[in-house]
């Protein structure tokens, strides 16, 4: 029997598109919430799939967190939650009331930064089907775990503390202040201050 070799589509070969996941998301007939995490930032976009290319309905970038006074890392778990809250508010203003999470070829991992962002979007009022068990713990979401680690590291090895948190310390932000900074930024976003 002769074996027929079927070549993979170009975007699949390049590791850019998972066509099975995309088809499943598109057939839901709802906008897609696309989350991308880079080395320094996070982007959240609500897009409507179309034949000629996806149409962006609302877009939010982690650099926008500086407008609400966020001084922590722009890709940490607390920053992702805050970005989700901000993205959800912007999506509601653009008329998006529900969406389906779409991460492309990146696997959906329970307790990850992507799920923290989804929790923020849901808390803002946009309906996204995700189980409660997928979200990170409250300690991770508020930055308490980072603050506890920073306090412990500062007490044990000051040099390692300064190396680990060098960029935050240069900007004048102490990682021990994560929970207070998180609550302040969350209040600013909830009240619509920018």
For the chain, domain boundaries: 19-190
Whole-number Å distance between alpha carbons of 37 and 44: 9
Distances (CA, A) of 180 to 13, 16, 66, 104, 187: 45, 38, 16, 34, 11
Query: Is the pLDDT at 1 greater than 70, yes or no?
Result: no
Q: What's the pLDDT at 6?
A: 61
Nearest by Cα to 59 from 23, 22, 31: 31
The model's confidence at residue 21, banded by pLDDT at 50, 70 and 90, is confident
Mean pLDDT over all residues of the chain? 90
Query: Is the pLDDT at 92 greater than 90, yes or no?
Result: yes
Question: What is the average per-residue pLDDT within 69-87?
Answer: 94
Domain 19-190 has CATH 3.30.420.100: yes
Whole-number Å distance between alpha carbons of 74 and 42: 7
Q: Count the Cβ atoms, other than its own, within 10 Å of residue 25.
A: 21
pTM of the model: 0.88
For the chain, the helix, strand and coil percentages under 3-state DSSP, each to the nearest 5: 50, 15, 35
pLDDT in tens, 154-185: 999 999 999 999 989 998 999 999 999 999 99
Whole-number Å distance between alpha carbons of 6 and 103: 26
Question: What is the average per-residue pLDDT within 70-76?
Answer: 92
């Amino acid at each position: 029997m002769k074996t027929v070799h079927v070549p993979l589509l170009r975007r699949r070969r390049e590791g850019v598109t998972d066509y099975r996941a995309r088809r499943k998301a598109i057939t839901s007939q709802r906008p897609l919430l696309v989350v991308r995490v880079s080395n320094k930032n996070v982007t959240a976009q609500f897009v409507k799939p179309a034949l000629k290319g996806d149409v962006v309905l609302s877009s939010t970038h982690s650099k926008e967190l500086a407008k609400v006074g966020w001084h922590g890392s722009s890709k940490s778990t607390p920053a992702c939650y805050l970005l989700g809250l901000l993205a959800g508010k912007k999506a509601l203003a653009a008329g998006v009331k529900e969406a389906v999470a779409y991460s492309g070829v990146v696997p959906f991992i329970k307790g990850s930064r992507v799920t923290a962002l989804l929790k923020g979007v849901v808390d803002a009022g946009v309906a996204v089907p995700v189980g409660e068990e997928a979200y990170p713990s409250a300690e991770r979401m508020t930055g308490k775990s980072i603050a506890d680690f920073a306090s412990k590291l500062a007490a044990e090895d000051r040099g390692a503390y300064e190396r680990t948190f060098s960029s935050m310390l240069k900007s004048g932000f102490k990682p021990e202040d994560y929970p207070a900074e998180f609550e302040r930024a969350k209040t600013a976003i909830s009240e619509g201050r920018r």
